[in-house]
Chain A
């Protein structure tokens, strides 16, 4: 069954990829990367980032909070150690880029100009860092300005990843489109927290964290539906996708592709089974369709 998908001129074998930060080199021991529509890297910054103090993870009913804070060894390490690993597979590579200032985002995009990667994903929506991230993605003007600056610095098509922690997601989506985004991805995590009643303290070292998992799917779906009706560029839908039915909901809402995030933790083979189920669904849809 052909599940081929065109995403801003980049042809994916199928519309399923991972969400940034949920799939590492170790994950490739569980999921066949060759079968993925694309692999999205963890956020890459200009310099190494240490991230937030632990605990960084807290489970919630049907979801989870994380406050990792974009720990990563930086773009030079990425190019030297990580990219060659992903290049071994026959899939598209999307590099998620992060920064504390517009200049840092630009510098990463610039550094990746000559790298053999297919797309960049601009992360202006991480709720777990003090500067950059969500501070940009919650302001339409800044979103347009940074998108436009990074678009100029980048050689590859640019996806802009949006935060749901805004009053009007459509306004931000339009700003990213106006800034020259080739595609949008949404949603990033919803800002939340948990308190340990025994210790009477916040459960996360960072106090707040990003909520993900099935618990946020209805919010994500609503936002994808709204954005798809308001922009002309393709949208990657994500937020609680755990099975093919979830993926179909996002595709029916107008998304061109879907990303699987927390489900990779619940089941390290989640992406494999979603792709298989999607193909089976397509076959079931047409089988016998001409018989009256």
Chain B
């Protein structure tokens, strides 16, 4: 039987306060890996507050997983739950369940690696962290990963991405770092070849990227976010509208969080 495991916080450090506090947290949870197997890029965990007034676990995407025992989560303080997580210190215990959901499928993953295959990873704000493990997987396959990352004005995880990517392009809304504008505008300036696209970020960014990719016929996978209750598929709360004349919604937690760009209705 699967269960909620107890994890031990190894590290929980503030990365930036701009535009909101973003923390970098490492949780040691070997039992979780024992029960559920390896983590795929794009999967997430549910973190349990253990507080009676905060009933529901919080979904947090996995930034990286190490040696089948530690997960790295980079999360933004967005409400009561994440505020509580940010207060936890080294050695604190936390309930963790995962990895959950279906992650990204690296294009061509079932065939031998092709050196000339290019994967573009497009991230916006707090949508950037889950792309790191994808970059790592592509790098380990020996294929080319290019990151196009957009932020309000303070980039995060750039050095981490540089480790696995052939190129890391940065955009900021304020123009403080890199290109002035968003990740899709920057992508439009640099991408002029056949490539596979993967994205995670705010809804408006994903929407414009879906339209952009659709016009060019480029295959795109996007990771979605929605308010969840259970995280395991039971409550049908985290719905995303899809192109279907049957049931118009899919569950982000169990059917996603990664969807094809051309199946989502914005």
Check if B234 sits within 8 Å of A22, measured CB to CB: yes
- The answer, yes or no, to whether A58 is at the interface (CB within 8 Å) is yes
Binds A, one of B1-9, B179-187, B189-197, B213-221: B1-9
- The answer, yes or no, to whether B226 is at the interface (CB within 8 Å) is yes
Check if B235 sits within 8 Å of A29, measured CB to CB: no
Tell me the bound Cα distance from A54 to B56 in angstroms.
17
The one of A30, A48, A54 that contacts B2, using a Cβ cutoff of 8 Å = A30
The one of A26, A66, A71 that contacts B232, using a Cβ cutoff of 8 Å = A26
Binds A, one of B127-135, B158-166, B243-251: B243-251
Tell me the bound Cα distance from A267 to B49 in angstroms.
11
- The answer, yes or no, to whether B239 is at the interface (CB within 8 Å) is yes
The one of A29, A53, A266 that contacts B55, using a Cβ cutoff of 8 Å = A266
Contacts A54-B239, A55-B226, A73-B246; is A30 near B55 (CB within 8 Å)?
no
- The answer, yes or no, to whether A188 is at the interface (CB within 8 Å) is no
- The answer, yes or no, to whether A56 is at the interface (CB within 8 Å) is yes
- The answer, yes or no, to whether A12 is at the interface (CB within 8 Å) is no
- The answer, yes or no, to whether A111 is at the interface (CB within 8 Å) is no
**Max chain A C-beta neighbours (<10 A), residue from B1, B226, B233, B246:** B1
**A-chain residues with CB within 8 Å of residue B2 when the two chains form the complex:** 29-30, 268
- The answer, yes or no, to whether A213 is at the interface (CB within 8 Å) is yes
Q: How far is the CB of A31 from chain B (nearest CB, A)?
A: 7
As a 0/1 sequence over residues 48 to 62 of chain B, the CB contacts with chain A under 8 angstroms (1 = contact) are 100011111100000
Contacts A54-B227, A265-B229; is A68 near B235 (CB within 8 Å)?
yes
Tell me the bound Cα distance from A58 to B237 in angstroms.
9
Q: How far is the CB of A240 from chain B (nearest CB, A)?
A: 10
- The answer, yes or no, to whether A62 is at the interface (CB within 8 Å) is yes
As a 0/1 sequence over residues 18 to 50 of chain B, the CB contacts with chain A under 8 angstroms (1 = contact) are 000000000000000000000000000000100
As a 0/1 sequence over residues 71 to 102 of chain A, the CB contacts with chain B under 8 angstroms (1 = contact) are 11100000000000000000000000000000
Size category of the A interface is: 35 or more
Check if A268 sits within 8 Å of B233, measured CB to CB: no
Tell me the bound Cα distance from A27 to B3 in angstroms.
10
Contacts A26-B232, A48-B246, A48-B247; is A56 near B55 (CB within 8 Å)?
no
Tell me the bound Cα distance from A210 to B108 in angstroms.
45
Check if A213 sits within 8 Å of B1, measured CB to CB: no
Mark B residues whose CB is within 8 Å of A.
1-4, 48, 52-57, 80-81, 97, 226-230, 232-241, 246-249, 254
Given contacts A30-B2, A57-B238, A64-B55, 14 further A-B contacts (CB under 8 A): A24-B232, A30-B1, A30-B232, A31-B1, A51-B236, A53-B239, A56-B237, A59-B54, A71-B236, A71-B239, A214-B55, A264-B234, A265-B230, A267-B48
The 7 residue pairs across chains A and B that have the minimum distance between CB atoms: A26-B233, A57-B237, A50-B248, A265-B230, A24-B234, A265-B229, A55-B227
